[in-house]
Amino acid sequence: MNVKVLFFATMRERTGIRDIILDIPEGTAVADFKKLLVQRYPGLAAAMSSVLVAVNKEFAFDEQIILDKSEIAVFPPVSGG
């Protein structure tokens, strides 16, 4: 399956790229996707426990299954006041 991955803010800085097309196994959940990202981009490891992931412009939980041709956005944790 091919998915488009978009990196934002510090996640972009840590990978050095804005976006990429990745081939992932069918049935991949968001939690597994995060592990794949860390394998490919070890600089993301420290942030991965609190990273925000959106699949097709909707925030996704770790157990959500990613479908073919999805767009996945990876954001650093957000705080505000």
What are the domain boundaries of the chain?
2-75
Mean pLDDT of 13-24: 95
Helical residues (DSSP H) of the chain, grouped into ranges? 10-15, 30-40
Q: Where residue 67 falls among pLDDT bands split at 50, 70, 90? A: very high
Q: What residue has token string 């909707």?
A: 58
Total-model pTM: 0.91
Please name the fold of domain 2-75: Ubiquitin-like (UB roll) (3.10.20)
Q: Are 53 and 30 in contact (CB under 8 A)?
A: yes
31-to-12, 14, 73, 81 alpha-carbon distances in Å: 19, 19, 14, 28
Q: Where residue 38 falls among pLDDT bands split at 50, 70, 90? A: very high
